[in-house]
Chain A
Amino acid sequence: MKKIIVACGGGIASSATVASKINARLKDAGLANKAKCEPVDIKSLSSYFAGSDLYVSITPVRGKVIDAPIPVINGMPFLTGVGTDACFKQIVEKLGL
């Protein structure tokens, strides 16, 4: 089981929205038993990297995503609803599912 994490200001609203959308897509793609996405609090983010396989960032600073010890992708499409398909494809590829 691969673990995807997504972080926002409290690990409650934005991150939970994105996680819920990613999990729904994983389910639709028949991959729910291979990967799972979990929303986390950005204030505790560094303690979640160990044990996770992919970080979906929704907090870009001037177009840059943060440096992380695990692969990172830009997850903004899951918030805006624009380009979600391509973004999900990227997740599947990065995880090698």
Chain B
Amino acid sequence: MRRFADVFARRAMRVSAAVPGLIVLVILLALVGKSRTILGLKSFAGLLFGSSWHPLRGDFGFGPFLSGTLWVTLAAMVLAVPISILTAIYLSEYAPRRVRELAKPMIDLLAGIPSVVYGVWGVLIVVPFVGNVLAPAFGATSSGYSVLAAGIVLAVMVFPTIIHVSLEVFAAVPQSLREASLALGATNWETVRHVVLRKGLQGIIAAVVLGLSRAFGETMAVLMVVGNVARAPKSLFDPGATLPSLLANNYGEMLSIPLYDSALMLAALVLFGVVLVFNIAARIILVRVERRSE
């Protein structure tokens, strides 16, 4: 009887463990299946880089959305990466233990805030700030709903991801290396620069890539501040639209126009593919880092 329970438990757990993996596969297959309709009629490159989005006229160019996604993601990363990594270095190498123990849960808390809350904060604070302060300061006019506003909101949203992973990477750098460096007379900063950062470089790249994929796929917060104009932005103060916002805004129209649902599914597939590749790449790097430090 006990043996039976053991075998049963093992089987049940194996099946449940397979479920998440299978779900990814099922989603992927469903997206591919749905996108085939439009891919049978138009070339993939033409859809991906086409600059005109007018579903009623049969134009399904993702160009403006791809470009908007890249602008927003890039703006977010330029803001988030230096701040996050400096924060992680401070917490890991300089801060007293108590500060670190206090800061860590606070940062993780940031990760748990629902994205619509970030969106509301963006609309109330960031959008007016960009429209009334930043844009005039740079001699531009902007309503505030812009790729920059989305970038700022996103940057705050990816802080926890990058900081958290970087902290783990720094923790994996052997203490003996730091001690050796300090014993040779290196200052704290020299140790950070030549030992900790060099040893952790790959891990930091992985942290950034993870943050990148989070930024790339973020929907609600971006949708609320980005301005949703289906035209490639020319400056940071222009409104834009992203692939996730395209999906969230138009999911409802997909039954009213032929080919629309297929086009949206293709957009979802592109998004899914990019995020999947980012994530797998980051994981591979992280696993390598961990193995080496053992």
Query: Does B bind A?
Result: no
